[in-house]
Amino acid sequence: MQSSTRIRTAVVAALLGLFAALSGPGSAQADPAAPTESTVGDLTGFSADGPVYHLRAGTAQARVSFVSDETFRIELAPDGTFTDPAGDAIVLPQGTPPRTHWKERSDRYDLSTGDVTLRAYKSPLRFALYRADGTEVWSEAKGLSWDGEKTTQTLARGGDEQFYGAGMQNGRGNTSHRGQTVEVGVDYNWDDGGHPNSVPFYLSSAGYGVFRNTFAPNTYAFNDPVATSAEEQRFDAYYFAGDAKDVIGQYTKLTGKPFLPPVYGMEIGDSDCYLHNANRGERRTKDSLKVADGYVENDMPNGWMLVNDGYGCGYEDLAETAKGLQDRDMELGLWTEDGIDKLGDQVKAGQRVAKLDVAWVGDGYKFALDGCKDAYKGIEDNSDARGFTYAPESWAGAQRCGVQWSGDQSGTWDYIRWQIPTYAGATMSGLAYTTGDVDGIFGGSAKTYTRDLQWKMFLGTTMTMDGWAASDKQPFRYGEPYTSINRDYLKLKESLLPYQYSYAHEATKTGVGMVRPLVLEYPDDPKAATDAAKYEFMSGEDFLVAPVYQDSTERDGIYLPKGTWTDYWTGRTYRGPTTVDDYSAPLDTLPLFVRGGASVPMWPGIRSYRDRTAGSPLAWDIYPQGASSFTLYEDDGVTREHRDGAYATQKADVRAPSKGAGDITVNIGASKGKFTGKQSSRPYEFSVHTGSEPSAVKLTGKLPRLGSAAAYAKAKQGWWYDRDDRGGVVKIKTAPLSTGKKFSVKLENTSAVGGRNAAATAAVSAPRGQEIGAGTPATVAVDVTAGRSDVTDAAVSLDVPKGWKATPAAVRRIPAGTTRRVEVSVTPAKDATVGEARLTALARYRSAGESRTAVQRIAASVMPPPPTGEAWASDLEWLSSVNGYGPAERDRSNGESGAEDGKPLTLAGKTYEKGIGTHADSDIEFYTGGQCSKFTADAGIDDEIDGYGEVAFSVEADGKVLWTSPKVTGASAAVPVDVPLDGARHVRLKVTDTNASKTGDHADWGAARFTCS
């Protein structure tokens, strides 16, 4: 009998006892009898000691300590004795406290700084916070309370108050927690709904945040009133006043600013076990170099490799492996499965990355936090490198020493979906680097891997893990088109490293990570806190990322907030707030939008940051609109010299029209600062998305105008207007210029992003579901929609794969505001790969007195020849195949994780030579092309299961369910299937689990056959 998946977390728990080890205070089972709650009574005593105030209420004592003008601490000891079990483990020294003053009033004491006043009401003792202008921030609905298990604060909830934080909350966090109960503590649920890397901190849109200074589990019920509790017999909380970014900054000043990763840490990493790998056969540690060669040979970035990621894996030849990886532009990482005692020697041998989810764990979160700090320090104490660690199940303060990793998941579409809000939401708790394995650790597929990798290139850090799924998960394993798409996105991240690294540095100052919920940048947008923005995020201030999380070539429900947004791939502009539906997203297209006014620094054309030389260019990708700026941060990327001031900054200021026609000036300031390896001079490149051709481009004098892409590529200096690139881009390059001197580039008589008359811009789209046959002449429909002006003399063409043929089509006139469908003749190559093909539709036209271009990526499906005669389903090409465990099998029962490892198909004692073996849940799609009249089979659970299992079978055609079986168990007789197809073009055979237990769901389609003309 076969389990549907291997549960790695259970193995961890069994080996190391982690369920007990990390539970921390409050882990004991509760008494069935509900404890009696007590609430603090009337104030019976008050005294002041500088910025510390003591308040007594009978036997209970409270203490208020001010840390800064906007940060203070409230403690309550129900029995009158203060304790501090967290000590200095989380909170860092804060320096000199602020000047404070107090005043007694008839009903309260006012404890004030220059910015806030904390009111301590007398009868009963109850706290409320006010700003200096007298407006309320928060107030307790009743006094602090406690029972035998927990202490609780109860706050009044504002009419539209929203709540965020609590660390990494899987599937949640980038939209409001209002009305929800959020748990903070270990639960070993690394899937949707779990909460690894919890943080006992939350923030409110009312202008405050709260951090519970404890290692105990917390529960936050954001109802009315709000009740927040910690499982301990004391109350200890810090409060911060300000907007969301201010609060995150104050919280991370208290508990530690995020660390600055080395540049290689922001490249993708690779993890596997190599020494005596039970899943992959006998291997040696240095075999990792063969995998490293795969990255190099496939021209793919990779920053580091973890070479012992497996229980009991171990390692050998460490120094030689480290040197081999360095020769391939990678660094060595190790999993601390044998603790961190050997870390010093390992680092001296070349280790630069430590993954910390086993063996270093002791009793409670404090030990976990200490492990993060000790491993980070161990790297730094034994090398000149920066500490760089990965860990799940961490706690407040871990942002200063590591990446918070969401644990072991399976690669599925649903996994992609719920991870989107997870990492952006974690930023609201000061976690600047959160991530999950590309396509999970178990399961996965070529498509889910590619889709998952795309959007994770816009996280600060990420890695791919091998060895636990049926096949390894390097980005080059799946063949074309996946390898090329993965390469493009890995290289896109590499080119964006100057942008992302600048945000990494910013996080060390502000505490705010690069990956952000929309509400953090658009707090006044009422939709930003809702599900309208749940499955998208900001990467810095300039990129809005809306991942595809379904097996689809379109994305609906992309919410764009106020401002101008440009499609990164097509140049099409949108005016927010708006919601974009039917966004065309072929497999190679991540829905990605750039904010109007963005200036993005880039390193063009590199595989590794080490490819940069003294003469390498710095490129600026500019979306001009109004006045905007970006400050580039640079250092050596590897050592800790930046902490002593060895870094440089360079500011780009752009002045452009807010909309429509005008001049654009790009001012590049002098690079201020020094570091080892700093370029004294460098060439610059600019891509300025204007949509309208300038009359001239000047740099001290007129730059030469170039007439083609080839001429631009050869020239050392000059400019070219590429009309066909994303709606019109001015491309500029300079000869090397001193980094110590400022300079300006001026584009005359051009426009803001979107063109001189953005409203007149035409849009190109295509209907979904277009199908064409290999080697067969066909047409592809392209829709051209005119803007507010007529489109004239439109020529519509398709950029098609090599070996295909396409004939452009012309349209004389399209009236303003109308759509014309254009049929473009296409003949795919005879050997065209069956499946999705990406085509690019390009429309050249005139509108509003200007020559313009609109472009759109579209997907068309290349179909196999439809079946003829009597066709066995197992002999046909499958358009898609999803299976609950391992691959669906042809003419075999469902086996283990590999292909063709099943047994003979057997139902109720009958053996079938032909058929399909699956494991619920499964879904196999066939192309029948309207040529088949019926489908027949015998359906049942394979005899090898000995009576286990419970499933239902179904047949769907063109989106409609034609037949569903009754519930089938391992003891049921085979169910005859005879379903008329009536000329259906697509048929899906599905098996679903019916009892919420996938154990034994080995479902066979015996003698599965199509009858066709």
In the DSSP assignment, the letter for residue 99 is: P
Distance CA 97, CA 92 (A): 13
358, pLDDT greater than 50:
yes
Distance set, CA 302 to CA 15, 293, 306 (Å): 31, 10, 11
Q: Residue with structure tokens 């390193």?
A: 603
437-446, 492-501, 779-788: least confident range:
437-446
DSSP labels, 28-74: SPPPSSPPPPEE-----EEEEETTEEEEEETTEEEEEEE-SSSEEEE
Q: Which amino acid is at 536?
A: E
Distance CA 704, CA 377 (A): 53
DSSP labels, 919-977: ESSEEEEEE-TT-EEEEEEEEEE-GGGTT--EEEEEEEETTEEEEEPPPEETTSPPEEE
CB burial of residue 613 (10 Å; 0-12, 13-18, 19+): exposed
494, pLDDT greater than 60:
yes
Q: Residue with structure tokens 């009963």?
A: 124
HEC string of 192-247 equals: CCCCCCEEEEEEECCCEEEEECCCCCEEEECCCCEEEEECCCCEEEEEEECCHHHH
Q: How many CB atoms lie within 10 A of CB 966?
A: 9
Distance CA 898, CA 605 (A): 37
Q: Are 204 and 523 in contact (CB under 8 A)?
A: no
Q: What is the pLDDT of residue 556?
A: 97
Q: Are 687 and 600 in contact (CB under 8 A)?
A: no
Q: Which two tokens stand for residue 405?
A: 């990793």
Distance CA 591, CA 451 (A): 11
The band of 357, judged by pLDDT with boundaries at 50, 70 and 90, is confident
User: Count of residues for the chain?
Assistant: 1013
Distance CA 210, CA 235 (A): 12
Tens digits of per-residue pLDDT, 182-200? 999 878 788 899 998 999 9
896, pLDDT greater than 90:
no
The band of 366, judged by pLDDT with boundaries at 50, 70 and 90, is confident
Q: How many CB atoms lie within 10 A of CB 661?
A: 14
Q: Which amino acid is at 603?
A: W
Backbone angles phi, psi at 336, to 5 degrees: -85, 55
Sequence-separated (6 or more) residues with CB below 8 Å from residue 708: 720
Q: At what angle do helices 482-495 and 446-456 cross, to 10 degrees?
A: 10
Provide the whole-model pTM: 0.92
Q: What is the pLDDT of residue 69?
A: 97
Query: What average pLDDT score do residues 888-899 get?
Result: 85
Q: Are 689 and 622 in contact (CB under 8 A)?
A: yes
Query: What average pLDDT score do residues 326-347 get?
Result: 92
Query: What average pLDDT score do residues 423-431 get?
Result: 97
CA 337 to chain centre: 27
Tens digits of per-residue pLDDT, 665-719? 999 999 999 999 999 999 999 999 999 999 999 998 899 999 999 999 999 999 9
Q: Residue with structure tokens 């070349």?
A: 350
20, pLDDT greater than 50:
no
Q: What is the pLDDT of residue 10?
A: 38
Q: What is the pLDDT of residue 436?
A: 95
Q: Which two tokens stand for residue 846?
A: 């005139």
Q: Which amino acid is at 519?
A: V
Q: What is the pLDDT of residue 340?
A: 85
The band of 1, judged by pLDDT with boundaries at 50, 70 and 90, is very low
Q: How many helices (H) and strands (E) does the chain have?
A: 13, 73
In the DSSP assignment, the letter for residue 617 is: -
Tens digits of per-residue pLDDT, 81-101? 999 999 999 999 999 999 999
Query: What average pLDDT score do residues 1000-1012 get?
Result: 96
Distance CA 456, CA 449 (A): 11
The band of 367, judged by pLDDT with boundaries at 50, 70 and 90, is confident
Tens digits of per-residue pLDDT, 248-292? 999 999 999 999 999 999 999 999 999 988 778 889 999 999 999
Q: What is the pLDDT of residue 305?
A: 98
889, pLDDT greater than 50:
yes
The band of 369, judged by pLDDT with boundaries at 50, 70 and 90, is confident
| Averaged confidence pLDDT in the chain | 93
Distance set, CA 877 to CA 443, 710, 835, 880 (Å): 22, 42, 10, 9
- Residue closest to 852 by CA, chosen among 759, 774, 782: 759
CA 994 to chain centre: 32
Strand spans (E) along 800-872 = 805-807, 809-814, 819-827, 835-847, 850-863, 870-872
Q: What is the pLDDT of residue 74?
A: 98
Q: What is the pLDDT of residue 310?
A: 82
Distance set, CA 469 to CA 87, 108, 889, 965 (Å): 42, 63, 17, 31
Q: What is the pLDDT of residue 21?
A: 35
Query: What average pLDDT score do residues 769-781 get?
Result: 93
Q: Indicate the SS3 state at residue 788.
A: coil
Percent of the chain residues topping a pLDDT of 70:
96
- Residue closest to 41 by CA, chosen among 148, 142, 155, 112: 142
DSSP labels, 128-178: EEEETTS-EEEEEEEEEEE-SS-EEEEEPPPTT--EEEEE--TT-SSS--T
Tens digits of per-residue pLDDT, 546-583? 999 999 999 999 999 999 999 999 999 999 999 999 99
Query: What average pLDDT score do residues 819-830 get?
Result: 96
Tens digits of per-residue pLDDT, 739-748? 999 999 999 9
Query: Quick one: CA dihedral 504, 509, 510, 511, positive or negative?
Result: positive
Query: What average pLDDT score do residues 385-406 get?
Result: 93
Percent of the chain residues topping a pLDDT of 90:
86
Backbone angles phi, psi at 875, to 5 degrees: -95, -10
Q: What is the pLDDT of residue 7?
A: 34
CA angle 602, 605, 609 (to 5 degrees): 70
* Long-range pairs, 124-127, Cβ under 8 A, ≥24: 124/39, 124/40, 124/41, 124/42, 124/43, 124/57, 125/40, 125/41, 125/42, 125/43, 125/55, 125/57, 125/62, 127/74
CA 445 to chain centre: 18
Distance CA 385, CA 691 (A): 45
Q: What is the pLDDT of residue 470?
A: 79
Distance CA 919, CA 87 (A): 52
CB burial of residue 14 (10 Å; 0-12, 13-18, 19+): exposed
Q: Which two tokens stand for residue 833?
A: 């790969």
Distance CA 360, CA 371 (A): 6
